[in-house]
Amino acid sequence: MTLWLTRITPDPSSAQARSDLAGAGAIHRRLMSLLPPEELGASPRQAAGLLFRVEETRRGTSILVQSARELDPSQLPEGYGRMERRELSPLLDALAAGRPVRYRIVASPTKRIGRSELRGVKEKTIALRGAEAEDWWRKRAHEHGLEPRSLISQERPDATDGSRGRRIRHAAVLFQGVGTVADTEALRAAVERGIGRGKSHGCGLLSLAPMEVS
């Protein structure tokens, strides 16, 4: 699978860009509108391999997007911002067991509480914070072929979508640090498919940067 990494840097003066950045659901719909006009089936986000993350840095706000199809910059509204893209194949090819990598992901750590744990209470999903969230990430990273050697976590604003009568909210936590590739195929699959809940709302995109082996 060919993957593309696209960075969209919205222009702060664009009213449409500001409106999109107010909610993860709006960003998702904007990105889907940039995909080629082809039939994507019943699960278009999955078919397009679309994952994204809002990045906040000293240089401003940007939207990092990963997809299995190239996004069309001509579909951005005039004045919305600039778009840059590159292919991810060189990065995936550089992943090898034992290779140290820097990782970064905004994920939605949760656990389910059901009747087996609390008698008489319907099963529900609750958000994890703090040390519980970090434990969740270590477990998920291990399951997906990455062994974290260091970890910094930071709570992010919840990913929300209140459009079309929906009330969707995903707790979001930024996890970043250094890790070691333990299972190359599992880690590549995690990059391609994302990790955890909320993939349509800015969670799950795993970014890796291979480090030089000393």
Give the residue numbers spanning the domain of 200: 91-210
What is the value of pTM for the model shown? 0.90
Question: Do residue 82 and residue 98 come from a single domain?
Answer: no
Question: Do residue 146 and residue 71 come from a single domain?
Answer: no
Answer yes or no: is pLDDT of 118 > 60: no
Q: How many domains does the chain have?
A: 2
Say which CATH number the domain at 108 has.
Answer: 3.30.70.1210
**Which residues fall within 8 angstroms of residue 187, CB to CB, at 6 or more apart?**
95, 144, 145, 146, 181, 208
Answer yes or no: is pLDDT of 114 > 90: no
- The last residue of one of the domains, among 87, 119, 146, is 87
**Which residues fall within 8 angstroms of residue 177, CB to CB, at 6 or more apart?**
102, 103, 148, 149, 150, 151, 152
pLDDT, residue 166, reads 65
- pLDDT tens digits, 142-196: 999 999 999 999 999 888 887 666 677 888 999 999 999 999 999 999 999 999 9
Question: Do residue 46 and residue 107 come from a single domain?
Answer: no
Question: Do residue 101 and residue 205 come from a single domain?
Answer: yes
Question: Do residue 179 and residue 106 come from a single domain?
Answer: yes
